[in-house]
Structure 1
Amino acid sequence: MKGTRGEGVPYALLGTWGLTRLLLLLFVSKVFVFPGPDVTSDVSVIYQGWYEILRTGTFPLDDVTWQYPPAAALAILSPGLLPFLDYAHAFFLLAFVADLVVYALLHYAGRRPGKTLRGAWVWVIGVPLLGPTVYARYDVMVTAVAVAALLAGARHPRVMGALVGFGALVKVWPALLLLGAVKRRAWAAAAVTAGGIAVLFGLSMPGAFSFLTFQRDRGTEVESLGSLVFHVGRHFGWDGQVLLNYGSVEFLGPYVDVVSRLALALTAIAFAWLLLWRLRAQRFAPHTLADAAFVAVLMFTATSRVISPQYMVWLVGIGAVCLCFRGSRMTLPVGLVLAACFVTVLEFPIWFSHVVGSDRLGITLLFLRNGLLVIAALLAALELWWSTVSDPAPPLPAQATRSKERLSSS
């Protein structure tokens, strides 16, 4: 049996995807027990609790852990499409389907001219590196929308824009995918779609935008880049606490607000650099759209006050789209993200108690994971700048070229 370009069916790729996804399903179904705290409780307790409220036609107005845009309600309500399963197992199955959709998109794109299956391999390898957390959060569903948007971007800018607009109303970050879009149709479609969905939810369900206040009041989460200050500080007399706050484990105490503001300042600097790049960029290759999206999401993730393990799914998905293109120069940064995924599953859930306790193992894991993300962000930003802004080497004058040829032949 042959593929669309005369290539054989990639049995190794298909087999690896099937085996790893079976293991993930067995872990979230608790046929096998994954080390560390139970990552599925968010689905069976938090998500299901929101489901019961959302189905009544209102948002969780009194729950500060609801920190998502209004269209996130669709992801939380989606298990209702499978009434023959309990909520948790229906959610896990839909997460598996979203994973399958991403794989199918990358597989199809990778067999087209000018593209490669490297991207599909990144997705196949990267997702299981994060463990069962991937199927116990709705981020894989958002990533499926983002991957579809990027792959549609070059040929169907309106489709891309509509998908980005929808994705942004599910979890905000897909709005960054527009950074490298050069066609106004993509921006217009995104604005119309996002605006239409926002108005629809605002008129039909109370509390559609309460998430803005809840998100603003968050502190410094224990896995973020800024948290390293307090992890180390606890060994030198800092007397703060680690508590469950706004739905995540955060540091509370002296100077936390200062570090949180510094994290926001770093994010602002990243945004300023991205804006400067957009104004200076001169050369847009087919892969530039995906490369720019990868850099933007990577920068915002690395500088965020919160780096939850499921955020890594975004980077794996967008990095996979980058490497679908033969011309992309993001190979090393994507490789560093994959390494960070492996360290992530070690710090959560396997050794999360060491992270919360700020012991030597926990601090080492966070330095490694966050260090890998920072290095990947810097390298990816440099590659994007060199490939789109920096002037290419000027061609040699004709006389110099002939002289060089005579020297080489003598």
Structure 2
Amino acid sequence: MNRLRVNTGPVLGVSALWLTTRALMLWLLTHSDSPLLGAGTLALEVWQLYGRWYGVLAHGAFPAHDTLWQYPPGASAVLLTPALLPWLTYFQAFVLLTLAVDALVTAALVRAGTRPGRSLLGAALWTGGLPLLLQLPLVRYDVQVTALAVLALLATARSPRAGGALAALGALVKAWPALVLLGTPRGPVTRGAWRWAAAAGAVTLGLLAVLFRNPLSFLRQQRGRGVQIESLGGTALNLARHAGWPGRARMQYGSAELVGPHVHAVALGCLVLTAACCALLVVWRVRARRWTEATPFDAALSAVLLFTVTSRVISPQYMIWLIGLAAVCLTSRHTSQRPVAALIVAASALSTLVFPMNYGEVMDGTWTGCLLMLARNGVLAAAAVLSFIRLWRAARAVEPVGKSLRTREPRSGSERFPDRAVSLS
């Protein structure tokens, strides 16, 4: 009863914060015609793009000839869910369902945070961090994708099978949730999670291939992507415009991309950096000697950060992913990523200053636009480097003799991590 009394206040505080901030986000959405809020362009993606795809998907086919269709086949399930609320318009149903998924993530983080030895900081970060992106999270399906990743991470410690299946479903919706399985502890937990991920992914992909035509058409559009103006490479090219580079920004593949000399080389450089980050993560996985309950959370955040900052595209909605993963990290008192979470909050606020508030400046390549992008991407790059360094040090640390906790590997995923770190050396 004492523990219940102690936890009631913070839980009620998170609930009140969620209700207040989500009401504010809805108000911003209804007033999004303001130039500072994007002049109505944010909502157009649901009205025009998602709605158009819904019409194609409802007839049993993927929009194979639409250059804007760049998502894995699992995205179809999310885009079709507004059909569950036929008495509402597509836009109204999409926003309402997004809010429901947002509430589910909050509840899962609160539940995880109220367990013994855990923290409600994660729930507070998600609840208070998402509104930094204004109304954007309500009109993108990244909240749904992030929910699958968050639930996969929280489930894996208790049920590797459920965690693996959720991660596979997330990967089929938007690829990156596959990274949440990177930090699963060696042994039965990893084998169970990865096997169930492979099985769930194969079965779901097969089902989608039966139900819809052209399930892999998105790959053709992905190959055509260039360097988005908001990426690290795009920031470098935008700055080069002030040194005489003759390129310019152009809308293509659904985003503002830079076109001109050397763009292909910059895109190739981004791919090389991504490959290098992949190699670093594999080395970390092989050489890691020490796991805590927070290691899977920290590894997922670090991996997604590294892949984000080296990507040719860093859209503002990517910050939703990072806020969600940072929130999971903060549910554990053993996390090494607290400073990284603070940097992600700062980067989210800077992202809003970039888009939608000053996107015209960015497109025109003015000094204001360039400096805003340099600040946002600089903070993100610092967060990625710091995240990996702290992940590496935490996994390689060796406790003094007599203090390390020697334990057998859990025989099933239902056995919890011990409160203290486990030495695997």
TM-score between the two structures when normalised by the length of structure 2: 0.90
Q: Which amino acid aligns with 1:299?
A: L
Question: By how many angstroms is 1:6 displaced?
Answer: 4.2
Q: Which amino acid aligns with 1:58?
A: A
Which of 247, 266, 270 aligns to 1:263? It is 270
Question: By how many angstroms is 1:31 displaced?
Answer: 7.6
Which of 67, 78, 82 aligns to 2:81? It is 78
Question: By how many angstroms is 1:7 displaced?
Answer: 2.6
1:295-346 CA distance string (max 9 Å, x none) = 0001111111000000110000010000000111210001000000000011
Structure 1 distance, partners of 2:2, 2:45, is 43
Question: By how many angstroms is 1:392 displaced?
Answer: 4.1
Unaligned runs of 5+ in 1: 397-410
1:20-78 CA distance string (max 9 Å, x none) = 10111122234884523421110000000000110000000110100001110011111
Say if 1:16 and 1:262 are closer, same or farther in 2 by CA, change over 3 A.
same
Match of 1:8 in 2: 8
Question: By how many angstroms is 1:180 displaced?
Answer: 0.6
Alignment of 1:54-203 (within 5 A): 54-182=57-185, 183=189, 184-203=191-210
Question: By how many angstroms is 1:229 displaced?
Answer: 1.8
Q: Which amino acid aligns with 1:281?
A: A
Alignment of 1:168-317 (within 5 A): 168-182=171-185, 183=189, 184-317=191-324
- Decide which moves more: 30-39 or 18-27: 30-39
Local SS of the residue matching 1:66: coil
Q: Which amino acid aligns with 2:143?
A: V
Match of 1:366 in 2: 373
Check conservation: 2:301, 2:322, Cα contact below 8 A: yes
Q: Which amino acid aligns with 1:27?
A: L
Structure 2 distance, partners of 1:254, 1:216, is 19
Structure 2 distance, partners of 1:260, 1:390, is 36
Check conservation: 2:121, 2:327, Cα contact below 8 A: yes
Structure 1 distance, partners of 2:321, 2:137, is 10
Match of 1:53 in 2: 56
Which of 384, 389, 396 aligns to 1:389? It is 396
Structure 2 distance, partners of 1:362, 1:62, is 34
Q: Which amino acid aligns with 2:15?
A: L
Check conservation: 1:2, 1:8, Cα contact below 8 A: no
Q: Which amino acid aligns with 2:100?
A: V
Match of 1:401 in 2: none
Question: By how many angstroms is 1:9 displaced?
Answer: 2.9
Check conservation: 1:161, 1:185, Cα contact below 8 A: yes
Check conservation: 1:2, 1:9, Cα contact below 8 A: no
Say if 1:268 and 1:31 are closer, same or farther in 2 by CA, change over 3 A.
closer
Local SS of the residue matching 2:377: helix
Structure 2 distance, partners of 1:26, 1:86, is 18
Check conservation: 1:26, 1:32, Cα contact below 8 A: no
Match of 2:38 in 1: 36
Q: Which amino acid aligns with 2:245?
A: W
Local SS of the residue matching 1:209: coil
Check conservation: 2:270, 2:311, Cα contact below 8 A: yes
Structure 2 distance, partners of 1:258, 1:4, is 58
TM-score between the two structures when normalised by the length of structure 1: 0.93
Check conservation: 1:59, 1:207, Cα contact below 8 A: yes
Unaligned runs of 5+ in 2: 404-425
Q: CA RMSD in A?
A: 1.6
Local SS of the residue matching 1:249: strand
Local SS of the residue matching 2:291: coil
